[in-house]
Amino acid sequence: MNTVFLMGQPGKSDPFNFLLMGAIILVFWLFMIRPQAKKAKEQKKYIESMQKGDKVVTIAGIHGTINKVNDDGTIQLEVSPGSYIKIEKSAISLEWSQAANKAVSTEKK
């Protein structure tokens, strides 16, 4: 049975294969790694800038207003008047919080 090698002759390197591999890595980086890194950076910046009175949504879908930002990486969230829960800052969803605040601002107009 004869085998056809698409990569050229066995034992020799083909420059086209290296260019193709480099192009695949570049596309993977552009469409997968870079956007995720950018998103993580925005999330971190948002968490660091949270302050009392901000309306937020957690990754579990809990809506509330920040009552207190603690030094231990947690916040006190008011979920209804007089009802507070303590959660980690990392549990706040940037996307959902922005969407909820956008919906509230359009309702007020």
Could you read off the pLDDT of 22-67 as tens digits, one per residue?
A: 999 999 888 888 988 999 999 899 999 999 999 999 999 999 999 9
Total-model pTM: 0.66
CATH for 50-109, options being 3.90.550.10, 2.40.37.10, 2.30.30.140, 3.50.50.60:
2.30.30.140
Please provide the DSSP assignment of 53-95 as one string. T-EEEBTT--EEEEEEE-TTSEEEEEEETTEEEEEEGGGB-HH
| Nearest in space to 97 (alpha carbons), one of 71, 81, 77 | 77
| Nearest in space to 96 (alpha carbons), one of 48, 42, 62, 57 | 57
